[in-house]
Chains A and B, each alone.
Chain A
C-alpha cells in the first residue's frame, strides 16, 4: 500500500518539479544574457556619448524589466516543493543546500532592492558612470546569483566535500570550497550562463529581424543585430568548449548518463558518437537487438576523445554498468545493491546499538557502514536495471541540444557576416530564418536541462539517494492538485509576459524616443 502511494507521489512530485523548473527556466536565461547585452550597449553610450546607444539600451532594458518582473520569485516555488514533496531529500542535503541558497537569496535581495532601482529609476538622477556601474552590477550579480543555484545542482550530480552524519541523518559540509568549486558546478555554471547568452542573443536578433522586415526602427535594429550576433557567436564557441568539459565530467562521475546520452549498450574502446540515428524501440538491456533502426551517421572515436581526451579510451556501456565487466573493472549494479543493503543494515544496527547505549557495538556497526557508504543509495533499488535512466528521452534531448548548438553557430556567423558587409537588409530569407529561429535557444536550453536531470535518474543525489526515497510519504492528491495549480499559474504568467512584450515591441517607434 505504502509502495503504491509512494509511486504515485514520486511520479507526480517529479512531474511538478519538472514543470516548475522548465517554466522557471523560460525566464532565467533571458535575465542572464540580456543583462550583459544591455550593459555592453550602455557602455557604448557612456563611451561615445551617442544618444542612439542610450535609446537602444532603454528599449532592451524595458523588455529585460518585463521578463524580470514576470519571472521573479518563480524559483521560490522549487524551494517550497523541496520542503513538502521532497522532505527526506531536503533534510539529507540541508547543510549543503543551506549555504549556497542563503547566499543566493541575500545576493538577489540586495541586488534587486538597490541596483535594479538605479537601473530603472536612476537615468536622470545619478551620474552616467554610476548608472553604468549599476547596470554592470545587475548583470554580474544575476549571473553570480545563478552560480549558487548551480553549485547546489552540481553537488546533486557529483556530491563532493561532504560527510554523512548518521546521528543527524544529514550530509554535513567538510569543505565549502570543494563544494563551490567542484568541476561539475563550474562546468554547469559556464555552460548554463553561456546558454543564457545564446538565448538572449537570439531574442535580440529575432526582434531586430522582425523590425527590419517591417522596415521600422532600422537604426536600432542594425546596431542590435550586430551586437547580438557577435555575443551569440562568442557564446556558442564558448558553449562548445564548456560542453566538452561537461562530457569529460559526466564520463567520470555519471557513466550511466553518458551511456544513455549515446545509447551505448555495450562498452568498448575507441567509441564513436552516433550523430544521427533512430533508436530501436524494442532494444532492451542485455539483449542482442541492434541499437538503431535504419542508417546512422557516426563520428568515429569521438565519444572516447570527448570523454577521456584519448581516441582509444574505454567507455562502459549500459550492459557493463548493470551486469558488470570484470575484465574492465566495472562492478555490477547487483553487487553494488548488495553492498548498499549491507550499509543500510549497518546503519539500522548502529542506531539500535546507540539507543541501547552499547557504544562498542555502535562503533563496530559505524565502521562497517563506512566501508560500504559509497554504495548506500544502491541499497534502496529493487533491481539492477533501475540504474539506467530513460534512454530515449536522454538520447534525443542530447542530440537535439547539440544539433541546435551547431546550427546556431552557423546562424550567428552568417548574420554577423551579412551585417558587417551591410547587406543584411536585402537578405529577406535570412531575416525570416533569424526571426523564426528565436525560440530555438529556449528549446536547446530546456533540452539540456532534460539531459542533465532525466539523465541522472534514478538518483536525486548521485549514488546516494534515489528519487523514490527522496520523496515524502504524503497524499498523492495534494501533489496532483499542486501540479495543476502550477501549470495554470505558470501558463498565465507566460501568456502575460508574451502579451506585454509583444505590445511593447509593436508600439515602439525609435523616432518617438530621445
Chain B
C-alpha cells in the first residue's frame, strides 16, 4: 500500500511541464463541464420538471407530439 501511495506521490511530483499542463486542462475542462454546463444548461429535464412522475410526463409529451 505504501508503495502504491509513493508511486502516485512521486509520479505527480516528478511530472514534466507538458504533463502538468495536461492536468490543468483536465481540471479546467471538468470544472466547465460540471460547474457551468451541468448547472446552467443540463440540469436534466425530469429533475427540473418534477411536478409529475416521469412516466406520466413522457406519456403526455408523446401524446401531445402525436397530435
Our verdict on whether A and B bind, yes or no, reads yes
B18 contacts which chain A residues (CB < 8 A)?
62, 66, 500, 503-504
B66 contacts which chain A residues (CB < 8 A)?
344, 379-380, 469
- Contact flags A104-132 to B (C-beta < 8 A → 1, else 0): 00000000000001101110011000000
How many chain A residues touch B (Cβ–Cβ < 8 Å)?
A: 52
B33→A117 contact, CB < 8 A: no
**CB of A88 within 8 Å of the partner chain:** yes
Could you tell me the dominant secondary structure of chain A's interface residues? helix
- Contact flags B35-50 to A (C-beta < 8 A → 1, else 0): 0011001111110000
CB-contacts of A476-514 with B (<8 A): 478, 481-482, 485, 489, 493, 496, 500, 503-504
Give Cα distance in the complex from A214 to B63, angstroms.
65
Give Cα distance in the complex from A474 to B66, angstroms.
17
Among B25, B44, B61, the residue within 8 A (CB) of A69 is: B25
Among A2, A73, A74, A167, the residue within 8 A (CB) of B64 is: A2
Stretch at the interface among A78-86, A241-249, A414-422, A437-445: A78-86
CB-nearest residue of chain A relative to B36?
A485
A351 contacts which chain B residues (CB < 8 A)?
59
Give Cα distance in the complex from A81 to B33, angstroms.
12
How many chain B residues touch A (Cβ–Cβ < 8 Å)?
A: 37
A472→B64 contact, CB < 8 A: no
A500 contacts which chain B residues (CB < 8 A)?
18, 21-22
A83→B26 contact, CB < 8 A: no
A92→B26 contact, CB < 8 A: no
Contact status of A481 and B41, CB under 8 A, knowing A72-B26, A88-B58: yes
Give Cα distance in the complex from A392 to B19, angstroms.
44
A121 contacts which chain B residues (CB < 8 A)?
7-8, 10-12
Give Cα distance in the complex from A168 to B11, angstroms.
49
CB-contacts of A122-152 with B (<8 A): 122, 125-126
Among A84, A91, A481, A496, the residue within 8 A (CB) of B54 is: A91
Question: Closest Cβ of chain A: how far from B29's Cβ, in Å?
Answer: 6
B22→A70 contact, CB < 8 A: yes
Among A81, A83, A122, the residue within 8 A (CB) of B7 is: A122
B58→A92 contact, CB < 8 A: yes
A469 contacts which chain B residues (CB < 8 A)?
61-62, 65-66
Question: Closest Cβ of chain A: how far from B23's Cβ, in Å?
Answer: 7
A167 contacts which chain B residues (CB < 8 A)?
55
B23 contacts which chain A residues (CB < 8 A)?
69
B55→A91 contact, CB < 8 A: yes
Give Cα distance in the complex from A493 to B12, angstroms.
23
A83→B61 contact, CB < 8 A: no
Question: Closest Cβ of chain B: how far from A23's Cβ, in Å?
Answer: 13
Query: 5 shortest A-B CB distances, which residue pairs?
Result: A121-B11, A87-B45, A80-B42, A69-B22, A83-B44
**Chain A contacts to B: CB under 8 angstroms:** 2, 6, 62, 65-66, 69-70, 72-74, 76-77, 80-81, 83-84, 87-88, 90-92, 117-118, 120-122, 125-126, 167-170, 344, 348, 351, 379-380, 468-469, 472-474, 478, 481-482, 485, 489, 493, 496, 500, 503-504
5 contacts between A and B (CB under 8 A): A2-B64, A65-B19, A69-B23, A80-B37, A87-B45
